[in-house]
Structure 1
Amino acid sequence: MSAENEAQGERLQKVMAAAGVASRRVSEDMIAAGRVSVNGKVVTELGRRVDPTVDLVAVDGTAVQLDTSRRYVMLNKPVGVVSSMRDEQGRPDLSRFTADYPERLFNVGRLDAETSGLLILTNDGELAHVLAHPSFGVTKTYIARVRGVVTPQTIGRLTKGVELEDGPIAADKAKLLQTRSDDSLVEVTLHSGRNRIVRRMLAEVGHPVVELVRRQFGPLHLGTLKVGQLRDLTKAELGQLLTISRESR
């Protein structure tokens, strides 16, 4: 921020406390210890003033969200719900999960109706763009139950790449978790944003998907969040996402 704006801004420790980083006293200790940076530069003077809407603050290299109007929510999306805030065909959509939030939330990327799992809801458009756009390389991990017995050779095909109608695609990682007499459990990690890509890849190698769950999105893990439930991201999770977003600029 400019010198004029800096004189009019708020004290850094006050802004950090308002953002829930730590109490004002602990925030002062962090600043004095050289753990806090503003716009990429370490700040140690306690009188430093910042503009929460413009300046980028990090603690120990992890980004901090100073704008308390921003909301970040993790949803375990059920099967049968479309990834839209309003479905023109009248199908169950995401509005049922966001109705109680005062903010106008939207989904980051999509999961097809038959796929359950981790979906991020936010009102931060810049972060959403980075997380959803494949050029930024944010990976997603899926667990797929598929028909047939998957072999190590098939796993190798997924990571080497398969040819689909809209071009070649390779998984960043693939792992065989379980095989039974008539089905298998496969873990697939990739950063592509192409439509129904995991289902199409597995169908191409001869193992149509029976059930598909997204367990991980970048640094976020679904954990024990039950289907149909949502929760705000923790400070640590949000810091990881914001750090990815800022590093991509």
Structure 2
Amino acid sequence: MPDMQKRDPSKSKGQSKPKLADKPGDRIAKFLARVGVGSRRDVERMIDDGRVKVNGKVLTTPAFKVTGKEKILVDNAPVEAPDIPRMWRYHKPDGLVTSHKDEQGRRTMFEALPTNMPRVISVGRLDLTSEGLILLTNDGELARALELPSTGWSRRYRARAYGKVTQEQLDTLKKGVVIDGIPTGEIIATLDRQQGDNAWINVTLHDGKNREVRRALETLDLKVNRLIRVSFGPYMLGDLGKGACEEIKTRVLRDQVGHLIDIPEEKSPTRKPKRGSYASAKRFQKKPKDENAAKGRGKFAKGSAKPASKPKSKRPAKKIVGNAYGKPGGKTSGKYAPRSHGKSGQRKGKT
């Protein structure tokens, strides 16, 4: 009989699997991008400039991993833990720079935002003289995902350009143009109207390269003198006024970008029912009478429960007296009592 191999006890059926090691932290560049400090490239430049500290030490590499429990400073300001991803629609006026700081001292878009806004970054950019819709978010990973052409979101613009053009000429842009030696994707341009020496043109593109609309129309000898972005993906500028900012609801954001980034559900705060309202069902529940007795309410305040039936009265039973006609139950006295007759059938008092 062949020798049976010894069974490895570690492979027994009922033995529990070994616990996995704790998940390592994220790279500092990714972590700071999530909290809205900037994009990963921006964070890498901050680290090269010595602007990021972890636990009191200046960071020298963007590959350093953190878990969020460390004390992280950017420009000597503490960095808070990442919040739930949020996004806003903002109508950028012309004349504002789409950056947090400007070397030439010009006013930035972020300086014009409402004071109650958290730290946010922009999804893409608009140049100084452009206006219209810009998406703002507190999550750098979300901003990066929405900027990528692979996301498939289109950008739509209304451009006013000096010069005259035909629709046949605009159709040549569908093949794309070459900007700085790099070919662009498809550009769909439709002529809205020719107004004197200016033409209003609707432009749709997906790449969103630097000054792409202006430089594409320059190939047709058109000079753009006003550029308005009217939509970015599913988000529209609509009737949002210049300089106005409006947050997108979390439910809507989860439906539209939930496939790109995890957006946890917000827990709605529990509210106490208002006094005098119909919010509380307990108010209308019928309480047992012994509970009323325990709380000292009503005629059972002393705690005695209501008897099952009334005790019989100690008074003697009422004698049934017949009426004048010998029938019981009639009225025997009072104003409307019938007159009684004697044995002979004559009324009393008469002879």
Q: Deviations over 1:139-189 (max 9, x none)?
A: 111110011222011221111223333322243422111112211111111
Tell me the amino acid that sits aligned with residue 119 of structure 2: R
Kindly tell me: are residues 218 and 237 of structure 1, through their superposed partners in 2, closer, same or farther at Cα, counting changes over 3 Å?
farther
Tell me the amino acid that sits aligned with residue 89 of structure 1: Q
Paired-residue identity, %: 37
Find the counterpart in structure 2 of residue 190 from structure 1. Answer: 205
Q: Which has the higher contact order (CA 8 A, sep 6+)?
A: 1
> What's the offset of the Cα at 1:246?
4.7
Give the whole-Å Cα distance in 2 for the aligned partners of 1:236 and 1:131: 18
What RMSD in Å do the two structures reach over aligned CA positions?
Answer: 2.3
Q: Which has the larger radius of gyration?
A: 2
Q: How does 1:36-51 map to 2 (within 5 A)?
A: none
Tell me the amino acid that sits aligned with residue 174 of structure 1: A
Q: 2:225 matched to 1:242?
A: no
8 Å contact from structure 2 (residues 98, 110) kept in 1:
no
Higher alpha-carbon deviation: 189-198 or 100-109 = 100-109
Q: 2:119 matched to 1:128?
A: no
Find the counterpart in structure 2 of residue 87 from structure 1. Answer: 102
Find the counterpart in structure 2 of residue 109 from structure 1. Answer: 124
Find the counterpart in structure 2 of residue 144 from structure 1. Answer: 159
Give the whole-Å Cα distance in 2 for the aligned partners of 1:241 and 1:86: 31
What TM-score results when the alignment is normalised by the length of structure 1?
A: 0.66
Find the counterpart in structure 2 of residue 46 from structure 1. Answer: none
Tell me the amino acid that sits aligned with residue 197 of structure 1: E
Q: 2:88 matched to 1:73?
A: yes
> What's the offset of the Cα at 1:236?
5.9
The gaps in structure 2 that reach 5 residues or longer are 1-18, 20-81, 263-351
Give the whole-Å Cα distance in 2 for the aligned partners of 1:81 and 1:102: 18
> What's the offset of the Cα at 1:192?
1.1
Tell me the amino acid that sits aligned with residue 244 of structure 2: Q
Which of the two has greater strand per residue?
1
Give the whole-Å Cα distance in 2 for the aligned partners of 1:155 and 1:236: 39
Give the whole-Å Cα distance in 2 for the aligned partners of 1:206 and 1:167: 20
What TM-score results when the alignment is normalised by the length of structure 2?
A: 0.48
Q: 2:248 matched to 1:233?
A: yes
Give the whole-Å Cα distance in 1 for the aligned partners of 2:162 and 2:141: 39
Tell me the amino acid that sits aligned with residue 214 of structure 2: R
Number of equivalenced pairs = 182
Q: 2:180 matched to 1:165?
A: yes
Tell me the amino acid that sits aligned with residue 137 of structure 2: T
Give the whole-Å Cα distance in 2 for the aligned partners of 1:220 and 1:99: 20
Kindly tell me: are residues 148 and 111 of structure 1, through their superposed partners in 2, closer, same or farther at Cα, counting changes over 3 Å?
same
SS at match of 1:245: coil
Kindly tell me: are residues 237 and 208 of structure 1, through their superposed partners in 2, closer, same or farther at Cα, counting changes over 3 Å?
farther
Q: Deviations over 1:17-61 (max 9, x none)?
A: xxxxxxxxxxxxxxxxxxxxxxxxxxxxxxxxxxxxxxxxxxxxx
SS at match of 1:154: helix
Kindly tell me: are residues 142 and 76 of structure 1, through their superposed partners in 2, closer, same or farther at Cα, counting changes over 3 Å?
same
> What's the offset of the Cα at 1:126?
1.9
The gaps in structure 1 that reach 5 residues or longer are 5-66
8 Å contact from structure 2 (residues 192, 201) kept in 1:
yes
